[in-house]
Structure 1
Protein backbone atom coordinates (compact mmCIF):
# COMPACT_ATOMS: atom_id res chain seq x y z
CA UNK A 1 0.00 0.00 0.00
CA UNK A 2 2.76 2.45 0.95
CA UNK A 3 4.73 1.55 -2.19
CA UNK A 4 1.76 2.22 -4.46
CA UNK A 5 0.97 5.61 -2.88
CA UNK A 6 4.66 6.57 -3.00
CA UNK A 7 4.69 5.73 -6.70
CA UNK A 8 1.61 7.89 -7.18
CA UNK A 9 3.36 10.77 -5.42
CA UNK A 10 6.48 10.37 -7.60
CA UNK A 11 4.45 10.61 -10.80
CA UNK A 12 2.43 13.56 -9.52
CA UNK A 13 5.63 15.45 -8.66
CA UNK A 14 7.07 14.72 -12.09
CA UNK A 15 3.97 16.26 -13.65
CA UNK A 16 4.03 19.30 -11.36
CA UNK A 17 7.71 19.92 -12.14
CA UNK A 18 6.92 19.69 -15.83
CA UNK A 19 4.01 22.15 -15.80
CA UNK A 20 5.89 24.55 -13.50
CA UNK A 21 8.99 24.39 -15.69
CA UNK A 22 11.20 23.52 -12.71
CA UNK A 23 14.74 22.25 -13.41
CA UNK A 24 15.87 18.77 -12.37
CA UNK A 25 16.66 18.54 -8.66
CA UNK A 26 14.13 21.15 -7.56
CA UNK A 27 12.34 20.36 -4.28
CA UNK A 28 9.10 18.44 -4.78
CA UNK A 29 5.91 20.50 -4.41
CA UNK A 30 3.84 17.45 -3.27
CA UNK A 31 4.81 15.72 -0.02
CA UNK A 32 3.53 13.13 2.46
CA UNK A 33 2.12 14.65 5.60
CA UNK A 34 -0.56 14.43 8.25
CA UNK A 35 -2.58 17.58 7.65
CA UNK A 36 -4.18 17.11 11.08
CA UNK A 37 -0.84 18.00 12.72
CA UNK A 38 -0.63 21.54 11.38
CA UNK A 39 -1.14 22.86 14.91
CA UNK A 40 2.34 21.56 15.77
CA UNK A 41 4.97 24.20 14.99
CA UNK A 42 7.58 21.81 13.59
CA UNK A 43 5.10 20.00 11.32
CA UNK A 44 3.53 23.29 10.22
CA UNK A 45 6.95 24.57 9.14
CA UNK A 46 7.72 21.39 7.17
CA UNK A 47 4.39 21.47 5.33
CA UNK A 48 4.24 25.21 4.66
CA UNK A 49 3.76 26.13 1.00
CA UNK A 50 3.35 22.48 0.03
CA UNK A 51 0.74 20.27 -1.56
CA UNK A 52 0.13 17.76 1.24
CA UNK A 53 -1.03 14.19 0.60
CA UNK A 54 -2.81 12.59 3.58
CA UNK A 55 -4.38 9.14 3.81
CA UNK A 56 -7.67 9.84 5.62
CA UNK A 57 -9.45 6.49 5.36
CA UNK A 58 -9.10 2.87 4.24
CA UNK A 59 -12.09 0.87 3.07
CA UNK A 60 -12.38 -2.80 2.17
CA UNK A 61 -13.87 -3.52 -1.25
CA UNK A 62 -16.48 -6.05 -0.11
CA UNK A 63 -17.63 -6.99 -3.61
CA UNK A 64 -14.30 -8.82 -4.08
CA UNK A 65 -14.19 -10.35 -0.61
CA UNK A 66 -14.82 -13.96 -1.67
CA UNK A 67 -11.60 -14.58 -3.57
CA UNK A 68 -9.81 -17.87 -4.19
CA UNK A 69 -8.08 -19.47 -1.20
CA UNK A 70 -6.30 -22.22 -3.15
CA UNK A 71 -3.15 -22.15 -5.28
CA UNK A 72 -2.31 -25.23 -7.36
CA UNK A 73 1.20 -25.91 -8.63
CA UNK A 74 1.96 -27.99 -11.75
CA UNK A 75 3.45 -30.74 -9.59
CA UNK A 76 0.07 -31.28 -7.97
CA UNK A 77 0.76 -29.52 -4.68
CA UNK A 78 -2.08 -27.44 -3.30
CA UNK A 79 -1.52 -24.43 -1.03
CA UNK A 80 -4.29 -22.94 1.11
CA UNK A 81 -4.19 -19.29 2.12
CA UNK A 82 -6.52 -16.49 3.11
CA UNK A 83 -8.13 -14.61 0.19
CA UNK A 84 -6.49 -11.37 -0.91
CA UNK A 85 -7.66 -8.14 0.70
CA UNK A 86 -8.78 -5.42 -1.74
CA UNK A 87 -8.67 -1.87 -0.40
CA UNK A 88 -9.94 1.55 -1.39
CA UNK A 89 -7.70 4.39 -0.20
CA UNK A 90 -9.13 7.83 0.47
CA UNK A 91 -6.40 10.33 -0.40
CA UNK A 92 -6.71 13.98 0.59
CA UNK A 93 -4.67 16.55 -1.33
CA UNK A 94 -4.51 19.81 0.65
CA UNK A 95 -2.99 22.97 -0.82
CA UNK A 96 -1.22 24.49 2.20
CA UNK A 97 -0.13 27.78 0.64
CA UNK A 98 -0.18 31.30 2.05
CA UNK A 99 -1.17 32.64 -1.36
CA UNK A 100 -4.75 31.56 -2.08
CA UNK A 101 -4.36 31.85 -5.86
CA UNK A 102 -1.32 29.56 -5.71
CA UNK A 103 -3.33 27.03 -3.70
CA UNK A 104 -6.14 26.99 -6.26
CA UNK A 105 -3.68 26.70 -9.14
CA UNK A 106 -2.06 23.70 -7.45
CA UNK A 107 -5.41 21.98 -6.96
CA UNK A 108 -6.23 22.57 -10.62
CA UNK A 109 -2.96 20.88 -11.55
CA UNK A 110 -3.78 17.86 -9.37
CA UNK A 111 -7.22 17.46 -10.95
CA UNK A 112 -5.74 17.85 -14.43
CA UNK A 113 -3.07 15.24 -13.67
CA UNK A 114 -5.61 12.60 -12.62
CA UNK A 115 -7.91 13.51 -15.49
CA UNK A 116 -5.07 12.76 -17.89
CA UNK A 117 -3.99 9.57 -16.11
CA UNK A 118 -6.70 7.95 -14.03
CA UNK A 119 -5.37 4.39 -13.83
CA UNK A 120 -1.90 3.41 -12.63
CA UNK A 121 -0.55 -0.06 -13.40
CA UNK A 122 2.73 -1.94 -13.54
CA UNK A 123 2.79 -1.48 -17.33
CA UNK A 124 2.33 2.32 -17.37
CA UNK A 125 4.59 3.13 -14.40
CA UNK A 126 8.27 2.85 -15.42
CA UNK A 127 9.41 4.02 -11.95
CA UNK A 128 8.62 0.55 -10.55
CA UNK A 129 11.74 -1.05 -12.01
CA UNK A 130 13.91 1.64 -10.37
CA UNK A 131 12.56 1.11 -6.85
CA UNK A 132 14.46 -0.85 -4.20
CA UNK A 133 11.57 -3.33 -3.78
CA UNK A 134 9.76 -3.47 -7.13
CA UNK A 135 5.98 -3.95 -7.03
CA UNK A 136 5.16 -7.10 -8.96
CA UNK A 137 1.60 -6.25 -9.93
CA UNK A 138 -0.95 -3.57 -9.09
CA UNK A 139 -3.77 -1.52 -10.52
CA UNK A 140 -4.90 1.72 -8.89
CA UNK A 141 -7.78 3.78 -10.30
CA UNK A 142 -8.30 7.31 -8.98
CA UNK A 143 -11.87 8.59 -8.60
CA UNK A 144 -12.65 12.20 -7.68
CA UNK A 145 -15.09 12.38 -4.76
CA UNK A 146 -17.63 15.18 -4.48
CA UNK A 147 -18.54 15.88 -0.86
CA UNK A 148 -21.58 17.69 0.47
CA UNK A 149 -21.08 20.73 2.72
CA UNK A 150 -21.97 18.54 5.69
CA UNK A 151 -19.36 15.93 4.72
CA UNK A 152 -16.73 18.62 4.20
CA UNK A 153 -17.47 20.02 7.65
CA UNK A 154 -17.23 16.56 9.21
CA UNK A 155 -13.98 15.77 7.39
CA UNK A 156 -12.15 18.88 8.51
CA UNK A 157 -13.70 18.69 11.97
CA UNK A 158 -12.29 15.18 12.38
CA UNK A 159 -8.89 16.44 11.21
CA UNK A 160 -9.03 19.06 13.95
CA UNK A 161 -7.92 22.02 11.89
CA UNK A 162 -9.15 24.86 9.74
CA UNK A 163 -10.22 23.98 6.23
CA UNK A 164 -7.68 24.35 3.43
CA UNK A 165 -8.31 24.27 -0.31
CA UNK A 166 -8.45 20.53 -1.00
CA UNK A 167 -9.52 17.73 -3.29
CA UNK A 168 -10.38 14.19 -2.20
CA UNK A 169 -9.79 11.08 -4.29
CA UNK A 170 -10.61 7.43 -3.79
CA UNK A 171 -7.87 5.14 -5.03
CA UNK A 172 -9.18 1.70 -5.88
CA UNK A 173 -8.14 -1.13 -5.73
CA UNK A 174 -4.99 -1.79 -3.77
CA UNK A 175 -4.55 -5.53 -3.23
CA UNK A 176 -2.94 -6.82 -0.04
CA UNK A 177 -1.85 -10.44 -0.25
CA UNK A 178 0.19 -12.32 2.35
CA UNK A 179 2.23 -15.10 0.73
CA UNK A 180 2.21 -17.27 3.87
CA UNK A 181 0.79 -20.75 3.28
CA UNK A 182 -1.71 -21.88 5.89
CA UNK A 183 -1.83 -25.50 4.76
CA UNK A 184 -0.55 -27.60 1.89
CA UNK A 185 -0.83 -31.02 0.31
CA UNK A 186 -1.76 -32.91 -2.82
CA UNK A 187 -5.05 -32.08 -4.44
CA UNK A 188 -7.94 -34.55 -4.48
CA UNK A 189 -8.15 -36.30 -7.86
CA UNK A 190 -10.95 -38.78 -7.20
CA UNK A 191 -13.43 -39.66 -4.47
CA UNK A 192 -14.25 -43.26 -3.59
CA UNK A 193 -17.58 -43.93 -1.87
CA UNK A 194 -18.07 -47.22 -0.04
CA UNK A 195 -21.29 -48.42 1.52
CA UNK A 196 -21.53 -50.17 4.88
CA UNK A 197 -24.02 -52.97 5.52
CA UNK A 198 -26.66 -51.66 7.90
CA UNK A 199 -26.82 -55.04 9.73
CA UNK A 200 -23.10 -55.15 10.61
Structure 2
Protein backbone atom coordinates (compact mmCIF):
# COMPACT_ATOMS: atom_id res chain seq x y z
CA UNK A 1 0.00 0.00 0.00
CA UNK A 2 2.91 2.33 0.65
CA UNK A 3 4.24 1.60 -2.82
CA UNK A 4 0.84 2.13 -4.43
CA UNK A 5 0.34 5.44 -2.62
CA UNK A 6 3.68 6.79 -3.81
CA UNK A 7 3.15 5.40 -7.31
CA UNK A 8 -0.10 7.37 -7.53
CA UNK A 9 1.54 10.59 -6.36
CA UNK A 10 4.54 10.10 -8.67
CA UNK A 11 2.20 9.60 -11.63
CA UNK A 12 0.30 12.76 -10.73
CA UNK A 13 3.55 14.72 -10.43
CA UNK A 14 4.76 13.48 -13.82
CA UNK A 15 1.40 14.32 -15.37
CA UNK A 16 1.73 17.86 -13.99
CA UNK A 17 5.31 18.30 -15.20
CA UNK A 18 4.52 17.01 -18.69
CA UNK A 19 1.36 19.09 -18.96
CA UNK A 20 2.95 22.40 -17.96
CA UNK A 21 6.63 22.26 -18.88
CA UNK A 22 6.84 20.00 -21.94
CA UNK A 23 7.77 21.63 -25.24
CA UNK A 24 9.50 20.67 -28.47
CA UNK A 25 12.71 22.25 -27.19
CA UNK A 26 12.77 20.82 -23.66
CA UNK A 27 12.80 17.37 -22.11
CA UNK A 28 10.76 17.24 -18.92
CA UNK A 29 12.39 15.68 -15.87
CA UNK A 30 10.77 12.41 -14.78
CA UNK A 31 9.89 11.68 -11.15
CA UNK A 32 10.68 8.14 -9.98
CA UNK A 33 10.53 5.99 -6.88
CA UNK A 34 13.89 4.78 -5.66
CA UNK A 35 16.27 4.20 -2.79
CA UNK A 36 18.64 7.14 -3.02
CA UNK A 37 21.41 5.29 -1.19
CA UNK A 38 21.80 2.89 -4.16
CA UNK A 39 24.19 5.24 -5.99
CA UNK A 40 24.14 6.61 -9.54
CA UNK A 41 23.86 4.96 -12.94
CA UNK A 42 23.88 6.27 -16.50
CA UNK A 43 21.44 3.63 -17.75
CA UNK A 44 17.69 3.51 -16.96
CA UNK A 45 17.83 -0.30 -17.18
CA UNK A 46 20.06 -0.57 -14.12
CA UNK A 47 18.88 -0.50 -10.51
CA UNK A 48 20.99 2.46 -9.41
CA UNK A 49 19.86 6.08 -9.26
CA UNK A 50 19.70 7.89 -12.62
CA UNK A 51 20.96 11.41 -13.20
CA UNK A 52 18.69 14.29 -14.26
CA UNK A 53 15.67 12.85 -12.44
CA UNK A 54 13.55 13.54 -9.38
CA UNK A 55 13.58 10.72 -6.85
CA UNK A 56 11.02 10.03 -4.14
CA UNK A 57 12.37 7.97 -1.25
CA UNK A 58 10.81 6.98 2.08
CA UNK A 59 13.24 7.95 4.84
CA UNK A 60 11.03 7.47 7.90
CA UNK A 61 7.73 5.87 8.94
CA UNK A 62 5.84 7.07 12.02
CA UNK A 63 2.69 5.71 13.61
CA UNK A 64 -0.14 8.21 14.10
CA UNK A 65 -0.60 7.90 17.87
CA UNK A 66 -3.85 9.87 18.01
CA UNK A 67 -5.68 7.09 16.14
CA UNK A 68 -4.15 4.17 17.99
CA UNK A 69 -7.09 3.33 20.27
CA UNK A 70 -9.88 2.76 17.77
CA UNK A 71 -12.56 0.12 18.50
CA UNK A 72 -11.80 -3.44 17.37
CA UNK A 73 -15.36 -4.13 16.26
CA UNK A 74 -18.02 -2.79 13.92
CA UNK A 75 -21.81 -3.13 14.20
CA UNK A 76 -24.19 -3.81 11.32
CA UNK A 77 -27.56 -2.51 12.46
CA UNK A 78 -29.34 -4.10 9.50
CA UNK A 79 -28.28 -7.68 10.16
CA UNK A 80 -27.78 -7.06 13.90
CA UNK A 81 -24.30 -8.57 13.85
CA UNK A 82 -21.02 -7.46 15.36
CA UNK A 83 -17.77 -8.07 13.47
CA UNK A 84 -14.49 -8.23 15.38
CA UNK A 85 -11.21 -7.29 13.70
CA UNK A 86 -8.03 -5.50 14.66
CA UNK A 87 -8.16 -1.77 13.84
CA UNK A 88 -6.06 -0.34 11.03
CA UNK A 89 -2.57 1.03 11.66
CA UNK A 90 -2.33 4.69 10.63
CA UNK A 91 1.11 5.87 9.55
CA UNK A 92 2.82 9.04 8.38
CA UNK A 93 5.69 8.86 5.90
CA UNK A 94 8.62 11.23 5.56
CA UNK A 95 9.36 11.50 1.84
CA UNK A 96 12.71 12.73 0.52
CA UNK A 97 12.43 14.33 -2.93
CA UNK A 98 15.82 14.78 -4.55
CA UNK A 99 16.88 16.40 -7.83
CA UNK A 100 19.80 14.43 -9.28
CA UNK A 101 20.69 16.87 -12.07
CA UNK A 102 24.33 17.55 -12.89
CA UNK A 103 23.32 21.13 -13.65
CA UNK A 104 22.71 22.79 -10.28
CA UNK A 105 20.40 25.46 -11.69
CA UNK A 106 18.25 22.77 -13.33
CA UNK A 107 18.06 20.92 -10.02
CA UNK A 108 16.85 24.04 -8.22
CA UNK A 109 14.29 24.74 -10.96
CA UNK A 110 12.85 21.26 -10.56
CA UNK A 111 12.72 21.61 -6.78
CA UNK A 112 10.72 24.81 -7.29
CA UNK A 113 8.33 22.93 -9.57
CA UNK A 114 7.84 20.22 -6.95
CA UNK A 115 7.11 22.74 -4.20
CA UNK A 116 4.64 24.63 -6.39
CA UNK A 117 2.94 21.38 -7.38
CA UNK A 118 2.28 20.43 -3.75
CA UNK A 119 1.42 24.03 -2.90
CA UNK A 120 -1.64 24.03 -5.14
CA UNK A 121 -2.44 20.32 -4.83
CA UNK A 122 -1.45 18.79 -1.50
CA UNK A 123 -4.43 16.44 -1.03
CA UNK A 124 -4.93 13.34 -3.17
CA UNK A 125 -8.02 11.12 -3.07
CA UNK A 126 -9.44 8.43 -5.35
CA UNK A 127 -11.85 11.07 -6.68
CA UNK A 128 -9.29 13.77 -7.51
CA UNK A 129 -6.46 11.85 -9.21
CA UNK A 130 -6.50 10.56 -12.77
CA UNK A 131 -7.85 6.97 -13.02
CA UNK A 132 -4.69 5.94 -14.88
CA UNK A 133 -2.57 7.03 -11.91
CA UNK A 134 -4.41 4.45 -9.79
CA UNK A 135 -4.62 1.58 -12.28
CA UNK A 136 -1.21 1.90 -13.94
CA UNK A 137 0.59 -0.46 -11.58
CA UNK A 138 1.83 -4.04 -11.32
CA UNK A 139 1.30 -4.15 -7.56
CA UNK A 140 -0.65 -7.11 -6.17
CA UNK A 141 -4.33 -6.29 -5.69
CA UNK A 142 -4.10 -6.89 -1.93
CA UNK A 143 -1.41 -4.18 -1.78
CA UNK A 144 -3.47 -1.61 -3.67
CA UNK A 145 -5.44 1.21 -2.09
CA UNK A 146 -9.22 1.09 -2.45
CA UNK A 147 -9.99 4.49 -0.97
CA UNK A 148 -7.47 7.00 0.28
CA UNK A 149 -6.79 10.56 1.33
CA UNK A 150 -3.10 11.45 1.10
CA UNK A 151 -2.08 14.82 2.55
CA UNK A 152 1.36 16.33 1.87
CA UNK A 153 2.89 18.87 4.25
CA UNK A 154 6.25 20.54 3.73
CA UNK A 155 8.71 19.39 6.41
CA UNK A 156 11.53 21.70 7.51
CA UNK A 157 14.39 19.75 9.14
CA UNK A 158 17.07 21.33 11.29
CA UNK A 159 20.68 21.45 10.05
CA UNK A 160 21.47 18.63 12.46
CA UNK A 161 18.70 16.48 10.99
CA UNK A 162 19.88 17.27 7.45
CA UNK A 163 23.43 16.27 8.34
CA UNK A 164 22.26 13.01 9.91
CA UNK A 165 19.97 12.21 6.97
CA UNK A 166 22.61 12.63 4.28
CA UNK A 167 25.21 10.91 6.42
CA UNK A 168 22.89 7.89 6.49
CA UNK A 169 22.35 8.04 2.72
CA UNK A 170 26.02 8.20 1.85
CA UNK A 171 27.35 11.56 2.92
CA UNK A 172 26.98 13.59 -0.30
CA UNK A 173 24.11 16.08 -0.25
CA UNK A 174 21.99 16.90 -3.31
CA UNK A 175 19.26 19.52 -3.78
CA UNK A 176 16.24 18.15 -1.94
CA UNK A 177 12.99 18.87 -0.17
CA UNK A 178 11.19 16.85 2.51
CA UNK A 179 7.45 16.25 2.75
CA UNK A 180 5.40 14.49 5.38
CA UNK A 181 2.73 12.27 3.87
CA UNK A 182 -0.22 11.67 6.11
CA UNK A 183 -2.21 9.64 6.65
CA UNK A 184 -2.03 6.12 5.27
CA UNK A 185 -4.07 3.37 6.91
CA UNK A 186 -2.79 -0.19 6.66
CA UNK A 187 -5.13 -3.08 7.40
CA UNK A 188 -5.37 -6.68 6.30
CA UNK A 189 -9.07 -7.42 5.91
CA UNK A 190 -9.47 -10.50 8.07
CA UNK A 191 -12.51 -11.05 10.28
CA UNK A 192 -11.50 -12.52 13.63
CA UNK A 193 -14.99 -13.26 14.86
CA UNK A 194 -18.67 -12.42 14.65
CA UNK A 195 -21.51 -12.27 17.12
CA UNK A 196 -24.90 -10.81 17.81
CA UNK A 197 -25.61 -7.26 18.87
CA UNK A 198 -26.32 -6.57 22.54
CA UNK A 199 -29.77 -4.96 22.43
CA UNK A 200 -30.66 -4.83 26.11
CA UNK A 201 -28.81 -4.95 29.40
CA UNK A 202 -30.83 -6.19 32.38
CA UNK A 203 -29.75 -4.74 35.70
CA UNK A 204 -32.75 -5.33 38.01
CA UNK A 205 -31.80 -8.79 39.20
CA UNK A 206 -33.68 -10.32 42.11
CA UNK A 207 -32.30 -12.89 44.50
CA UNK A 208 -34.62 -15.49 46.00
CA UNK A 209 -33.67 -17.38 49.15
CA UNK A 210 -35.19 -20.64 50.26
Whether the TM-score (by the shorter chain) exceeds 0.5 is yes
**Structure-1-length-normalised TM-score:** 0.87
Structure 2 CA distance for partners of 1:40 and 1:97, relative to 1, 3 Å = closer
SS class of match (1:104): helix
SS in 2 for 1:91: strand
- Structure 1 residues 90-99 or 180-189, which shifts more? 180-189
Which residue does the alignment assign to 1:96?
100
User: Are 1:123 and 2:127 matched, yes or no?
Assistant: yes
Residue by residue, what CA displacement relative to the aligned partner does 1:59-96 show, whole Å, maximum 9, x if unpaired? 11101111232122221111111111111011100111
Are the counterparts in 1 of residues 51 and 101 from structure 2 also a CA contact under 8 Å? yes
User: Contact (CA 8 Å) 1:33, 1:52: kept in 2 or not?
Assistant: yes
Q: Which residue of 1 aligns with 2:192?
A: 182
* Contact 1:114-1:142 within 8 A present in 2 as well: yes
Consecutive unaligned residues in structure 2, runs of 5 or more = none
Aligned residue among 144, 149, 155 for 1:139: 149
Task: After TM superposition, list the pairs within 5 Å mapping 1:23-34 onto structure 2.
Answer: 29-34=30-35
Partner in structure 1 of residue 88 of structure 2: 84
Partner of 2:5: 4
How many residues of Structure 1 are paired with residues of Structure 2 in the alignment?
Answer: 196
Q: How far does residue 129 in structure 1 lie from its aligned partner after superposition?
A: 6.0
Structure 1 residue corresponding to 2:63, chosen from 60, 64, 67: 60
Supply the distance in 2 between the matched residues of 1:6 and 1:20 (Cα, whole angstroms). 21
Q: CA RMSD in A?
A: 2.4
Deviation of residue 149 (structure 1)? Answer: 1.1
Q: Distance in 2 between matches of 1:129 and 1:144?
A: 24
2:164 match: 154
Look up the SS of the partner of 1:168 in the other structure: strand
Matches within 5 A, 1:43-54: 43-44=47-48, 46-54=49-57
Question: Within the alignment, does 1:164 sit opposite 2:168 as a pair?
Answer: no
Change over 3 Å in CA distance of 1:110–1:186 after alignment to 2: same
Q: Output the TM-score relative to the length of structure 2.
A: 0.84
Q: Are the equivalent residues in 2 in contact too, given 1:36–1:161 (CA < 8 A)?
A: no
| Alpha-carbon distance, 1:196 to partner | 4.5
Report the alpha carbon displacement of residue 16 of structure 1 after superposing the two structures with TM: 1.2
In structure 2, relative to structure 1, the CA distance for the partners of 1:47 and 1:79 (3 Å cut) is same
Shift of 1:192: 3.3
